[in-house]
């Protein structure tokens, strides 16, 4: 009896699991992607522009020194930090804590950019469309479109072929 029940369960289980998986996938597609991911921010929330198509995994955005703008279909690995602020190293104590620029350190991350896990971006900087930033990299200079960068500081390591080329 047990063997027969086990065989019946195995035969029925495959189609049932497939049906459940299909329903779950359909529901996930109907959700806005930003509802599935999380981020924290420091500064004025109005200075952060994240489109519905962005995928952001536990990121930190600091807009104390400028704006942060993400392009369509940008996606982040885990624990990415994007910072517009900095502190004045010539000051000490409380003065150092309070001395930071309020504007002019904007960060623009172009369409389709992939920032892998543990990337740190320090503004002012522009990351061109469809660029890739390798995990653990420090971006403190502009990145050309269709370029892979890696390292601390990030340097170009490869050009990506543009579609149709």
Is the distance from CB of 102 to CB of 122 less than 8 angstroms?
A: no
Residues in the chain, how many?
A: 165
44-66: b or e for each residue (b if 16 or more CB lie within 10 Å)?
A: eeebbebeebbebbebebbbbbb
Instruction: Please confirm, yes or no, whether 87 is among the known catalytic residues.
Output: yes
Instruction: Report d(CA 21, CA 92) in Å as an integer.
Output: 57
Catalytic residue among 42, 49, 73, 87: 87
Give me the active site residues, please. Answer: 87
């Amino acid at each position: 009896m047990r063997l027969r029940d086990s065989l019946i369960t195995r035969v029925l289980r495959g189609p049932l699991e497939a049906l459940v998986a299909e329903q779950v996938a359909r529901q996930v597609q109907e959700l806005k992607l930003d509802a599935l991911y999380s981020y924290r921010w420091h500064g004025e929330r109005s200075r952060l522009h994240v489109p519905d198509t962005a995928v952001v995994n536990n990121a930190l955005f600091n807009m104390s020194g400028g704006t942060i703008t993400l392009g369509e279909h940008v996606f982040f690995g885990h624990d990415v930090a994007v910072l517009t602020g900095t502190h004045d190293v010539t000051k000490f104590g409380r003065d150092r804590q309070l001395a930071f620029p309020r504007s002019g350190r904007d960060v623009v991350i172009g369409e389709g950019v992939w920032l892998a896990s543990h990337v740190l971006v320090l503004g002012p900087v522009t990351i061109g469309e469809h660029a890739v930033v390798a995990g653990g990299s420090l971006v403190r200079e502009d990145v050309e479109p269709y370029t892979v960068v890696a390292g601390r500081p990030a340097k170009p390591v490869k050009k990506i072929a543009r579609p149709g080329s």
